[in-house]
Structure 1
Amino acid sequence: MTATHASDTTLRVLGTSDVAGIEISLADVVAVVEQAYDTLAAGRSDNPRKLTVKPEDGHSVAYAMLGRDGERGVVAVKTSYKHGLHEDRDKQHYYTTLTLYDDSTGLPVAMMDCGRIGALRTPAVSALLARELAAPGSRSALVIGTGTQGRLALPFLLTTMPHLERLMLFGTHPDGIRAVREQLHAHFPDREVEVVTDLRAAAGDSDIVLATAGPGTPASVDADWLKPAALSVLVGYGIAPSTLHRADRVIATSAAQMRVTGTDMVDAGGELRAVDAEFPEVLAGRAAGRTDPGQRIFAYNSGLVVTDIALGHRFAQLALAQGLGTAVPLWQ
């Protein structure tokens, strides 16, 4: 990055259109995210717990996340702000940015819109969770939700688990359903998705249930609906707290972040189920994921900023090599 990062007085800003035009394969995204987890598990990266602010009426939520990637020698800050949580999706406002600094030179790398980074990183993590935690011989997957995370969920699942045979989708937005189909055909033109309306029956037929829906979803898969050895992965909404509390084993990308962002999954007594293992440790072989083929597993995907940093840095490298972005004399 030393040839392309900003000076000590300017900052390279990469807007939505700059980031959108960069080509990267799903397999490359998975590899970058997996490496970020490996580096964190090795103790070479730092990923403090995110900070959260939310008004009493819950109309908005904001997060701030600081981290350091030891593999790339990059320090970064990510911010995320969503307004209109009680409104329909088209009336909500969402802004997320990532600012990267080269920790070897002390110079800024770039500030970028982090929307596409998150849209790729999160389903890549879910796909890695599925690869590591799904029961042996898993052949079916159900995705709940057709928003940003739901639209790439199936292509990423097929990237890490190409043997999946039956792909199901539960959604309530026609445009979202169409977008899911388009993304699947763009990456896997020979594969089809089955849109389901009987959620209980679909959940009972699924080896993997991936909940990516927004807070207004009518979906709420109960533990009783799941197969005995099913894997349920929570990204957004769509599965009931019982899937967590009645699981045989609970894996989280971060136990600390689950305590912050997983409060909607508490039981009737207001308690959140303890985490059995964190996913970076599972990937590194330092902790067990599934310890028995018949276990019902719950996995919580809250996202770690080190994965945003790794993927964002890769995008910045590609963008700056192409001369994209605008140099802003921020510190002059």
Structure 2
Amino acid sequence: MPESVPAPDDTSLRVLSTTDLAGLDIALPDVVDVVEQAYRTLAAGQSANPRKLTVKPDDGHSVAYAMLGRDGTREVVAIKTSYKHGLHESRTEQHYYTSLTLYDDVTGLPIAMMDCGRVGSLRTPAVSALLARELAAPGARSALVIGTGTQGRLALPFLLTTLPDLDRLTLFGTHPEGIAAVREQLARYAPDREVEVVTDLKAAAADADVIVATSGAHTPAAVEADWLRPGAVSVLVGHGLAPSTLHDADRVVATSAAQMAVTGTDMADAEGDLPEVDAEFPEVLAGRAPGRRSPEERIFAYNSGLVVTDIALGHRFAQLALAQGLGTRVPLWQ
């Protein structure tokens, strides 16, 4: 039997490495569609996305997450783990590992275990782009991306996928190699567009209809609420927004209120409190909760990522990889 086609009762585990996944081709609109379907399936009550578990030592030198979920459309169960070590160190000194293990909930057999880095690098900016599409004020034309790391590098191509009428693209970053990488990705996906690198963050924020903050914890960027123009939507992925953008927002939308309570504590006020979430994004997509209520509202959107989106996109990558015979079969349970 060919290596790419497992036996009907094969309980071996196909392990897909970073290299295996790197060469798989998937278009940005397809990524957006897969992620949006995952949200809609969750909103329909067909998927399960329990609250993530977190482990962090008292000195804060590392953090680990575990996320279990089930995609009701694909009938796939999966668990994602994420571990980052060296949080007090520079990005180059940190160690970061994330994996996704998928099981077929029809046959009961394992599908694959994979490095989840590429899945996350696509899923997260796709979610930010969907949030921008649903929450941006009518006629939004300008976007500011803060940060040039993994999440910042594809932020603009994904924003142009969901908001093609954006005509001013700006970037605030402090790492020359990261800025070069952002330019490279934009040239790859939108060769007719250019990005303007800005140094005056306050002025750039005041001009932006859409802000996506993706920086790491050591960023000097901290956009304040009173810098924002009426109607602006600010999407927080990592860092780059001051807590005032959340606490003074006219409306707060989160991919998950429960997850925001776990991972958004750095945005708490002096008393350690976070404001109530006005709407969860799956409900907005399903039409059961309003996203934007008026053109002038300043909206804060929290993108914490839901494991059902990792499952859906990871399963799509597994399908592509297995069809090409990629990966290593490990007889873990044999």
- Identify whether the pair has TM-score above 0.5, normalized to the shorter chain: yes
2:5/2:322 contact within 8 Å kept: no
2:148/2:178 contact within 8 Å kept: yes
In the alignment, what sits opposite 1:160? 162
Q: Tell me how far apart the structure 2 counterparts of residues 62 and 194 of structure 1 sit (CA, whole Å).
A: 36
Q: 1:276 aligns with which of 274, 278, 281?
A: 278
For residue 152 of structure 2, give the secondary structure of its aligned residue in structure 1: helix
In the alignment, what sits opposite 1:28? 30
In the alignment, what sits opposite 2:137? 135
1:96/1:114 contact within 8 Å kept: yes
Q: Tell me how far apart the structure 1 counterparts of residues 9 and 163 of structure 2 sit (CA, whole Å).
A: 43
In the alignment, what sits opposite 2:320? 318
In the alignment, what sits opposite 1:99? 101
Q: 2:55 aligns with which of 53, 67, 70?
A: 53
Amino acid at match of 1:44: Q
Runs (5+) with no aligned partner, structure 1: none
Alpha-carbon deviations, 1:231-279, whole Å to 9, x = none?
A: 0000000000000000000000000000000000011221101100000
In the alignment, what sits opposite 2:91? 89
2:76/2:104 contact within 8 Å kept: yes
Amino acid at match of 2:129: A
Q: Tell me how far apart the structure 2 counterparts of residues 298 and 5 of structure 1 sit (CA, whole Å).
A: 49
Q: Tell me how far apart the structure 2 counterparts of residues 162 and 100 of structure 1 sit (CA, whole Å).
A: 34
Residue pairs, 1:191-210, within 5 angstroms: 191-210=193-212
Q: Tell me how far apart the structure 2 counterparts of residues 55 and 5 of structure 1 sit (CA, whole Å).
A: 43
Q: 1:286 to 1:254 in 2, by over 3 A?
A: same
For residue 142 of structure 1, give the secondary structure of its aligned residue in structure 2: strand
Q: 1:5 to 1:305 in 2, by over 3 A?
A: farther
Alpha-carbon deviations, 1:4-37, whole Å to 9, x = none?
A: 5885431000000001110000000000000000
Q: 1:302 aligns with which of 301, 304, 307?
A: 304
What value does the CA root-mean-square deviation take over the aligned residues? 1.1
Q: Tell me how far apart the structure 2 counterparts of residues 169 and 294 of structure 1 sit (CA, whole Å).
A: 24
Q: Does 1:74 align with 2:83?
A: no
Amino acid at match of 1:243: T
TM-score by length of 1: 0.98
In the alignment, what sits opposite 1:214? 216
Identity %: 79
Q: 1:238 aligns with which of 222, 237, 240?
A: 240
Alpha-carbon deviations, 1:205-243, whole Å to 9, x = none?
A: 100111000000000000010001110000000000000
Q: Tell me how far apart the structure 2 counterparts of residues 202 and 194 of structure 1 sit (CA, whole Å).
A: 10
Amino acid at match of 1:54: K
Q: Tell me how far apart the structure 2 counterparts of residues 239 and 245 of structure 1 sit (CA, whole Å).
A: 11
Aligned length: 331
Q: Does 1:17 align with 2:16?
A: no
For residue 149 of structure 1, give the secondary structure of its aligned residue in structure 2: coil
In the alignment, what sits opposite 1:252? 254
For residue 252 of structure 2, give the secondary structure of its aligned residue in structure 1: strand
Amino acid at match of 1:199: L
Q: Tell me how far apart the structure 2 counterparts of residues 289 and 212 of structure 1 sit (CA, whole Å).
A: 22
1:22/1:318 contact within 8 Å kept: yes
Q: Tell me how far apart the structure 2 counterparts of residues 7 and 320 of structure 1 sit (CA, whole Å).
A: 16
Q: Tell me how far apart the structure 2 counterparts of residues 6 and 175 of structure 1 sit (CA, whole Å).
A: 47
Query: Which of structure 1's runs of 4+ aligned residues deviate more than 3 A?
Result: 2-9
1:229/1:294 contact within 8 Å kept: yes
Deviation at 1:173, TM superposition (A): 0.3
Q: Tell me how far apart the structure 2 counterparts of residues 212 and 244 of structure 1 sit (CA, whole Å).
A: 15
Amino acid at match of 1:59: H
In the alignment, what sits opposite 2:230? 228
Q: Tell me how far apart the structure 1 counterparts of residues 317 and 20 of structure 2 sit (CA, whole Å).
A: 10
Q: Tell me how far apart the structure 1 counterparts of residues 10 and 259 of structure 2 sit (CA, whole Å).
A: 34
Q: 1:169 aligns with which of 168, 171, 182?
A: 171
Alpha-carbon deviations, 1:135-159, whole Å to 9, x = none?
A: 1110000000000000000000000
Alpha-carbon deviations, 1:165-184, whole Å to 9, x = none?
A: 00000000000000000000
Q: Tell me how far apart the structure 1 counterparts of residues 139 and 99 of structure 2 sit (CA, whole Å).
A: 39
Amino acid at match of 2:42: L
TM-score by length of 2: 0.98
In the alignment, what sits opposite 2:292? 290
In the alignment, what sits opposite 1:119? 121
Q: Tell me how far apart the structure 2 counterparts of residues 118 and 7 of structure 1 sit (CA, whole Å).
A: 30
For residue 27 of structure 1, give the secondary structure of its aligned residue in structure 2: helix
Q: Tell me how far apart the structure 2 counterparts of residues 7 and 249 of structure 1 sit (CA, whole Å).
A: 51
Q: 1:5 to 1:270 in 2, by over 3 A?
A: farther
Q: Tell me how far apart the structure 1 counterparts of residues 66 and 36 of structure 2 sit (CA, whole Å).
A: 23
